[in-house]
């Protein structure tokens, strides 16, 4: 059957498609490098998983935690700018299992907090752990970089007793580049066949997550794909579906009909 491609309006916007991802290997598709256990010397590197992922083929986590541990990636940043960290996670145990534990640092490697009380620094969840969640859940935080800041440890922790501590699809962006003015450009570059048989084919400006929801709003498919790749929809029942395309900075939606 001939594919019919369409361009529809933006349904949901989180930011522009042209924000620059500052992390290397944010979705662990190339293994762990340059992520590493730390920044404390006693922390161990997480284990790469190919069976429990948010998108793509791999995620990382700790199958069991016997002592406080974590992993990080150090990224150069600019003082005075506001940065946004986001990631997807699963967490379970005794409700004190995982945290975002990131911190700005100066050229000497010393922490630089941008609040009077470090416990209110949103890059460090000192006053609370990440909620326990069985399904992949997104966490987002933003914080300005104070005077003297030269780099940022994007880091998470897992704690003793955690039975699930799994992470995927990190992102670090300069908030100033996440203006919504260019979102329409992203929307115009998204095309897909709206009459769907056994495959949904999506044209994208770059790699993105494509989620398919049924009429009741239930997620029935989630895939991380490149432009022109197809998603197998042969198992879906006939009817209307909502497809969202999310590149980590912008999200647009389409209605498609499964024949």
Q: Which CATH number does the domain 190-258 belong to among 1.10.260.30, 2.60.40.1220, 3.30.70.260, 2.60.120.10? A: 2.60.40.1220
Q: CA nearest 112: which of 84, 143, 87, 140?
A: 143
- Taking the C-alpha atoms of residue 98 and residue 131, their distance in angstroms, rounded to an integer, is 8
Mean pLDDT, the chain, integer: 85
Portion of the chain with pLDDT greater than 70, in percent: 88
pLDDT interval class at 1 (50, 70, 90): very low
Summarised one tens digit per residue, pLDDT across range 59-83 is 999 998 999 999 999 999 999 999 9
pLDDT interval class at 17 (50, 70, 90): very low
Mean pLDDT within 96-111: 95
Least confident range from 31-35, 131-135, 139-143, 183-187: namely 183-187
Asked if the model's pLDDT at residue 154 lies above 80, the reply is: yes
Summarised one tens digit per residue, pLDDT across range 200-223 is 999 988 788 899 998 888 889 999
Q: Is the dihedral of CA 40, 102, 131, 59 positive or negative?
A: negative
Q: Which CATH architecture has domain 36-173?
A: Sandwich (2.60)
pTM over 0.85: no
> How would DSSP label each residue in the chain?
----EE----S--SS-TTPPP-SSSTT-TT-STT-EE-SSTT--PPEEESSS-SSSS-EEE-S--SS-EEEEEEEE--TT-EEEEEEEEEEESSS--EEEB-EEEETTS-EE-SSSSGGG-TTB-TT-PPPPEEEEEEEEEEEE--TTEEEEEEEEEE-TT-SEEEEEEEEEEEGGG--GGGHHHHHHH-EEESEESSEEEEE-SS-EEEEEE-TTS-EEEEEEE-TT-EEE-TTSPSEEEEEEEE-SS-EEEEEEEE-
Summarised one tens digit per residue, pLDDT across range 81-97 is 999 999 999 999 988 99
Write down the domain spans for the chain: 36-173, 190-258
């Amino acid at each position: 059957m001939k594919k019919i491609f369409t361009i529809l309006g933006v349904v949901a916007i989180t930011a522009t498609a042209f924000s620059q991802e500052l992390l290397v290997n944010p979705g662990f598709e190339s293994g762990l490098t340059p992520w590493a256990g730390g920044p404390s010397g006693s922390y161990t590197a997480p284990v790469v998983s190919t069976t429990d992922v948010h998108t793509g083929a791999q995620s990382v986590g700790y199958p069991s935690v016997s002592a406080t541990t974590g992993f990080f990636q150090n990224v150069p940043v600019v003082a005075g700018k506001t940065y946004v960290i986001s990631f997807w996670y699963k967490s379970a145990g005794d409700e004190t299992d995982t945290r975002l534990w990131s911190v700005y640092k100066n050229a000497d490697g010393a922490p630089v907090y941008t609040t009077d009380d470090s416990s209110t620094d949103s890059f460090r969840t000192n006053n609370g752990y990440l909620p326990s969640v069985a399904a992949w859940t997104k966490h987002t935080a933003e914080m300005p970089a104070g005077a003297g800041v030269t780099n940022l440890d994007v880091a998470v922790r897992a704690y003793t007793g955690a039975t699930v501590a799994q992470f995927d699809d990190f992102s670090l962006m300069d908030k100033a580049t996440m203006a919504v003015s260019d979102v329409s450009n992203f929307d115009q570059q998204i095309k897909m066949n709206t009459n769907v048989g056994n495959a949904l084919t999506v044209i994208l400006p770059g790699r993105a997550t494509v989620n398919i929801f049924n009429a009741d709003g239930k997620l029935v498919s989630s895939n991380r794909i490149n432009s022109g790749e197809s998603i197998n929809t042969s198992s879906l029942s006939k009817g209307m579906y909502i497809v969202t395309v999310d590149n980590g900075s912008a999200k647009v939606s389409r209605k498609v009909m499964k024949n």
